[in-house]
Amino acid sequence: MIRTKHLTKRFGHITALDSVSIGIGEGVTLILGPNGGGKSTFLNLCAGTYRPTEGVIRVFGGDPWADANVRQRFGVSFDPPALPKHRTGREWLEFLAEIRGGSTSDIIEAFSLGGFLDRRISTYSAGMMKRLSIASAFVGEPELVLLDEPLVNLDFDAIPEIVGLLERFASEGLSIVVVSHIWKPFLEFADRVVVIAGGRVKHDGSVEEVASALSLI
């Protein structure tokens, strides 16, 4: 689904991602690493938000930066959430559904959005914004979902709820790439773990292989 070759991203004199060559297939891929290590930069390159400085990235065989048809096939939730604060949550989801197709009703129910959906996003708490952002990524029946720090700003009770939803979607065949500092809840159903630090891939393998190498469990 995702393939890179010598993928590099610089911001001025800072090299955030340094010649990364990797392929990510179907299933759930968990991307770990320290702050500033390059993992969110990698996700933004996959989402087409950033253009590579050097190298190549292909998602579904196309260029996510230049090809709108590629971007139609995946959903993404950024951290911090990229949401239009002057609109209501319902207006935002309906706008996405117009672009991507599909219905919002199942998403609204699955993510328990009904209690605040008709309020302007500017009035949302950080947890509400995170919940809406994650839900947005699932509108339109995407083939792949990219999630940056999906558990940040969620309250204690909401974390197992969201993790359970992601596990359910994964069990139904949806491929998910998760960047997260809160990694333990995902180890139960992740198929693969990639560790990015210093702009490079340091570990790449099954949950058991990487967890053993890093003493995660």
Per-residue pLDDT tens over the stretch 40-88: 999 999 999 999 999 999 999 999 999 999 999 999 999 999 999 999 9
The three-point CA angle 26-31-35 to 5° equals 160
CATH number corresponding to 2-73+143-214: 3.40.50.300
Tell me the pLDDT of the chain averaged across its residues.
94
First-to-last alpha carbon distance for the chain, in angstroms, is 28
Share of the chain above pLDDT 70, in %: 99
Return d(Cα 34, Cα 48) in angstroms, integer.
23
Amino acid at 93: L
Contact (CB, 8 A) for 152 and 181: yes
Return d(Cα 176, Cα 178) in angstroms, integer.
6
Give residue limits of the domains in the chain.
2-73+143-214
Distance from the Cα of residue 88 to its chain's centroid: 22
10 Å CB burial of residue 166 (0-12, 13-18, 19+) is: buried
pLDDT, tens only, 153-203: 999 999 999 999 999 999 999 999 999 988 889 999 999 999 999 999 999
* Beta strand 14-24 pairing with 144-148: unpaired
Amino acid at 26: E
